[in-house]
Structure 1
Amino acid sequence: MSYQPETSYDAEHKIWSGPVERFHFAPDLSIGEIIFHEMRRHPKQVAQVSATEHTLLTRSELHQNSMRVASYMRQIGLRQSDIVGIMARNSTHIAAVAYACFFNGIAFHALHVVYEKDTIRKLFSITAPKIIFCDGDEYEKLKEATASLNTQIVTMRNHPPGVTKIEDLLNTPIEPNFEPARLEQGVQQTLAILCSSGTTGTPKAVTITNSQKMINSSNLLTTADVQYSHSTFDWLSGLGALVTSGVFSTKRIIADNTFDPAILLRIIEEYKVTWLLQPPSHMAMLVNCPEFEEADLSSLRYYLYGGGRCSVEVQETVRSRLDHDCLHFSYGCTELGTIATMNRNYDAKPNSVGRLLPGFKIKILNDEGKALGPDEVGEVCVTNGQYWAGYYGNPEESHKIRDANLWFHTGDLGYMDEDGFLFIVERKKEMLKYQNIIYYPNEVEEVIAKMPGVSEVCVFGVWNQFNGDEAAAAVVKKFGADFHAQDVVDYVADHVDAKYKQLNAGAIIMDDLARSANGKTNRNATKAYFLEAKDRS
């Protein structure tokens, strides 16, 4: 089969380019200004429905609530150089908090609610938010973690006694003649800050640029669309759903529960969801749900997924239940602020993450930094040509991931085929994802290394279609030490609160770890030995 050259290839420099980018709004408008004005165009239209809290907000009501929270932020003296913290689920009023930040030109730093106290302390110490919005469920943990910061905490749900509630802020009078702020740094200013971790385990705060590139991949959305993403604002997918709903005047369905595939299927049927964005782990849970085969998915016209591996079996099972050919695998990274590729040709290119979207370029580099041609595997490097503020307060790590020519070195190994389709083979970097929460092997290794009798340890991820990368450990005992593999699993359970850092794939005792020629631990070879031993048992 031949393909039209939607992705062009420069054979001399070995660079692939997507189509020319077109913007739908004036280029100097911020995301906050666009949303502010678009929300006034359809005041009676339903903006948001909470399927779990059973609330409904029209665009006018959400607009008013957002201006009230923004007015409160202005009253307490927040400036565009300040940071707002968010650590909350998708409850009724969290969108108003985010839009208020957009209207004021203030970036928010979003953390996932499952983070343990030490991770919260490290992350918020980077950005030092002046005010943090959190669920009451996490209030005590957050309060202890931010004790050294002079910050106000506002709860979004399940309010502890005596704590400022979001409802208190919603009583704030709207500032007379309220208008969204013009950005002091223009559209190069940071819109939001999400979370990642470095290869050393040191947390990083990823800035997201206030760019219309975020909305260009969703420009087919209309006022007739009903969007759903279970992701919270600390994920790029959650932030993207929030922004595109505001810009394109869609109805956004939210839920503040732990992900449950049966509830999702009920939401799709009841609200006639047309646009769904999921990580592969949720897709796997969906197809293994007893209700899946009988669910009515006929309303879906965009089913987007990405952020990790997805088995062909899961993809084909989902496709077999869809009335439209609307299942699209996508690829990007948080630092880009949006997705870079999308596969709209599944039948011809299964497991490809697709072709480049407008405004993006890709090159594939070998270990010596030489550009490779079609079908050659190397590190995937992407550029969108736009300004990026880097990791907040961390220029050294910023320069490691993005070079002087504005190329992001993703750490993913992959190749481009002759038709301009990108295939991701594996991760070059050691980052792991458990239920879409990022962590690194050394974070677990540091815990196990403190276990009495441990000489050496190597932690790696074992892929599970439901959870993603489950941590496993290979351990070498000190001479004379007496413990078993299960003791290592139990030790981590006793010393780590976070579920995603448990040894969910188990442990093994080895006489020595697999090593490379220079004597360094070979993580991949050690993992291969673990998997082989597991198959034999």
Structure 2
Amino acid sequence: MSFVPENTYDPESKIWSGPLSQKNYFSPDLSVGEIIFNEMRRHPQLIAQVSDTENTILTCNELCLNSMRVASYMRQLGLKQSDIVGIIGRNTTHIFAVVYACFFNGIAFHSLNIKYEEKTIENLYKITKPSLIFCDGDEYEKVQTATKDLNVKIITMRNHTSESVTIEEVLTTPIVEGFKPVRLEQGTNQNLAILCSSGTTGDPKAVTISNSHSLFKFSDQLTSADVVYTHSTLDWLAGLGMTIFCGIFNPTRIIADNDYDPIRVMRIVEKYKVTWLHQAPSHMSLLVNSEEFPKAEFSSVQHYLYGGSRCSLQSQQLLRSRLSKDCMHFTYGFTELGSVATANSHFDKKPDSSGRLLGGFKMKILNEQGESLGPSEVGEVCMSNGQYWAGYYGNPQETRNMCDSDGWFHSGDLGYMDEDGFLYIVDRKKDMLKCHHIMYYPHELETVIAQMPDVAEVCVFGVWSDVNGDEPAAAVIKRIGSTLKSQDVVDYVRKHVKASYKQLLGGVLIVDDLKRSPNGKTNRRANKEYFLKVRKAN
């Protein structure tokens, strides 16, 4: 395998460029919805989807018809291209008909994670103001309360309540005569979906994703003979991407609406002969640490994709040892880009790298003064994809902070490119952390813990876990004369914070003083290092 870099590097501008974009498979003026509509109708008898948990099977024709029925329902309600549809759900049988219906109608959907707290849901949907929300009955009460001030209809996808409209009722809607996907009023610059990300402070922000064809260029090797599986839901870029890939290239998609279960995943891979498997790094860790892993069958897997956060090299190597060939693709990107930007398909030679730039992307590494750096120099990773971005929905200031006037996205990640043009991510520039795949900020927990009468001062940071990501942990100074114990802080947070991903899973250390920078401010990194040193010693 040759390691002549496929990327080019300009030493004067210090900019790396991916290969030239390949020729479009489809007319560039077609929307994602139009492409999916045409492709599903071309292959009506192919099996589009199998639910391993709900025991359902849908052909391309059946899935297309269901999508048309949901789209017709939306048209009956009078929804226009300027409206927003909310989604908070698992990978159930009919959730993808809802997505394709939105695509057919040129209506963007705003997808939230099912674990979001009521207040977070309220704040996010106050921004986008959805006219219609599809959610699981499991979250119906939370969603209803969070959107009580909005004039919104709620439809449940499973575990229906007596108060909600059910997806089965929606699917009885007659298809509009002569049904066709709409032409987009703003062309391919029009919003396709809205996902969630985080800025430097506060709640997640609503990230717009356009109808750009760059969404599915990385999947050009996918065919109708493939069988794909990912546990990612529609609030992840990976979940959205897989839904688009499957609609366009017509592989058989296996889905499941259960909580992640590594044993079930291994059974799914063996039972359905999965060829494309996509996982979050934490899912990989759970998989390789399972007692069933050594005897699991992975011979069918031809492409194993993973990305979204860090992953221990040991876990990667364990999985690689069970795959029949070097088919692991570690990807890097962020939601604002609308797709992955790099992919490492050379794990055996470049383990732990995020890979080379994909076609159409450019990258530069900036120091704190905004100057471009050369190979092997660490700085902020900045990307350009040459695509239109509408920004954060309803938040022009944060949009300008993320994407500068020259179209460069500032990731907030620290990394470097090696001499072969392979990207390595080494740290995060921002304080934002991610546990259970959900973003949180240390100051949110610090505010809660500081309310304890026996706490004088607190510093919260993330302690890395292969399974959970950045587990919240804290260093706490107790007040003089207090008998405060570490478990008291853990229990207090459990009582006052409902979200599971904000629990102090990493632990608590009672200290005499916090580590501080020369200006007297709390040094989060130094406190974390001290915490890890004490934990290792004990």
Q: Fold-level match, TM-score > 0.5?
A: yes
Aligned residue pairs total: 537
Confirm or deny: 8 A CA contact 1:88 1:156 kept in the other structure. Answer: yes
The corresponding residue for 1:226 is 227
Separation (CA, whole Å) in 2 of partners of 1:132 and 1:299: 38
Task: Tell me whether 216-225 or 115-124 shows the greater mean CA deviation.
Answer: 115-124
The corresponding residue for 1:440 is 441
Confirm or deny: 8 A CA contact 1:197 1:440 kept in the other structure. Answer: no
Confirm or deny: 8 A CA contact 1:485 1:508 kept in the other structure. Answer: yes
The corresponding residue for 1:409 is 410
Residues 273-284 of structure 1: pairs in structure 2 closer than 5 A: 273-284=274-285
Q: Which amino acid in the other structure matches residue 416 of structure 2?
A: Y
Residues 40-79 of structure 1: pairs in structure 2 closer than 5 A: 40-79=41-80
Pair 1:510-2:506 in alignment: no
Separation (CA, whole Å) in 2 of partners of 1:233 and 1:416: 31
Residues 257-268 of structure 1: pairs in structure 2 closer than 5 A: 257-268=258-269
Separation (CA, whole Å) in 2 of partners of 1:480 and 1:141: 42
Separation (CA, whole Å) in 2 of partners of 1:451 and 1:383: 46
What's the CA shift string for 1:100-123, capped at 9, x where partnerless? 000000000001111111111111
The corresponding residue for 2:12 is 12
Confirm or deny: 8 A CA contact 2:120 2:203 kept in the other structure. Answer: no
Q: CA shift at 1:72, angstroms?
A: 0.5
Confirm or deny: 8 A CA contact 1:300 1:324 kept in the other structure. Answer: no
The corresponding residue for 2:271 is 270
What's the CA shift string for 1:244-277, capped at 9, x where partnerless? 0001011111000000000000101111111111
Match of 1:488, SS state, is helix
Separation (CA, whole Å) in 1 of partners of 2:252 and 2:307: 22
Residues 351-500 of structure 1: pairs in structure 2 closer than 5 A: 351-500=352-501
The corresponding residue for 2:87 is 86
What's the CA shift string for 1:444-492, capped at 9, x where partnerless? 1221122223232211100011111100011223444442221111110
Confirm or deny: 8 A CA contact 1:122 1:203 kept in the other structure. Answer: no
Residues 20-169 of structure 1: pairs in structure 2 closer than 5 A: 20-22=20-22, 23-169=24-170
The corresponding residue for 1:521 is 522
Q: CA shift at 1:435, angstroms?
A: 2.2
What's the CA shift string for 1:136-173, capped at 9, x where partnerless? 01111111111111111000000011320001110000
Task: Tell me whether 36-45 or 285-294 shows the greater mean CA deviation.
Answer: 285-294
Match of 1:180, SS state, is coil
Q: CA shift at 1:201, angstroms?
A: 2.1
Q: CA shift at 1:332, angstroms?
A: 0.4
Match of 1:217, SS state, is helix
Q: Which amino acid in the other structure matches residue 445 of structure 1?
A: E
Separation (CA, whole Å) in 2 of partners of 1:529 and 1:5: 40
Match of 1:56, SS state, is strand
Structure 2: stretches of 5+ with no match in the other structure: none
Q: Which amino acid in the other structure matches residue 267 of structure 1?
A: I
Separation (CA, whole Å) in 2 of partners of 1:155 and 1:108: 16
Separation (CA, whole Å) in 2 of partners of 1:488 and 1:147: 34
Q: CA shift at 1:530, angstroms?
A: 1.0
Match of 2:215, SS state, is helix
Structure 1: stretches of 5+ with no match in the other structure: none
Q: CA shift at 1:536, angstroms?
A: 2.2
Confirm or deny: 8 A CA contact 1:455 1:476 kept in the other structure. Answer: yes
Confirm or deny: 8 A CA contact 1:115 1:498 kept in the other structure. Answer: yes
What's the CA shift string for 1:490-523, capped at 9, x where partnerless? 1100011111000001111222221111111111
Q: CA shift at 1:423, angstroms?
A: 0.5
Match of 2:127, SS state, is helix
Separation (CA, whole Å) in 1 of partners of 2:499 and 2:125: 18
Q: Which amino acid in the other structure matches residue 122 of structure 1?
A: N
Confirm or deny: 8 A CA contact 1:71 1:174 kept in the other structure. Answer: yes
Match of 1:71, SS state, is helix
Q: Work out the percentage of aligned pairs sharing the same amino acid.
A: 63
Separation (CA, whole Å) in 1 of partners of 2:350 and 2:520: 40
Separation (CA, whole Å) in 1 of partners of 2:207 and 2:447: 24
Question: 1:25–1:71: structure 2 CA closer, same or farther, 3 Å change rule?
Answer: same
Confirm or deny: 8 A CA contact 1:201 1:442 kept in the other structure. Answer: no
Separation (CA, whole Å) in 2 of partners of 1:291 and 1:388: 44
Residues 292-371 of structure 1: pairs in structure 2 closer than 5 A: 292-371=293-372
Confirm or deny: 8 A CA contact 2:326 2:346 kept in the other structure. Answer: no
Q: Which amino acid in the other structure matches residue 303 of structure 1?
A: Y
Confirm or deny: 8 A CA contact 1:364 1:371 kept in the other structure. Answer: yes
Separation (CA, whole Å) in 1 of partners of 2:217 and 2:69: 29
Q: CA shift at 1:5, angstroms?
A: 3.4
Match of 2:274, SS state, is coil
Confirm or deny: 8 A CA contact 1:16 1:363 kept in the other structure. Answer: yes
Q: Which amino acid in the other structure matches residue 21 of structure 1?
A: S
Q: Which amino acid in the other structure matches residue 14 of structure 1?
A: K
Separation (CA, whole Å) in 2 of partners of 1:333 and 1:227: 22
Confirm or deny: 8 A CA contact 1:444 1:459 kept in the other structure. Answer: yes
Question: What TM-score comes out, normalization by structure 1 length?
Answer: 0.98
Q: CA shift at 1:209, angstroms?
A: 1.4
What's the CA shift string for 1:317-366, capped at 9, x where partnerless? 11111112211111000111110001111122111110000000110001
Q: CA shift at 1:305, angstroms?
A: 0.4
Separation (CA, whole Å) in 2 of partners of 1:42 and 1:271: 20
RMSD: 1.1
Confirm or deny: 8 A CA contact 2:432 2:440 kept in the other structure. Answer: yes
Separation (CA, whole Å) in 1 of partners of 2:440 and 2:83: 27
Confirm or deny: 8 A CA contact 2:326 2:348 kept in the other structure. Answer: no
What's the CA shift string for 1:211-262, capped at 9, x where partnerless? 1101001111011011111000000000011000001011111000000000
Confirm or deny: 8 A CA contact 1:94 1:156 kept in the other structure. Answer: yes
Question: What TM-score comes out, normalization by structure 2 length?
Answer: 0.98
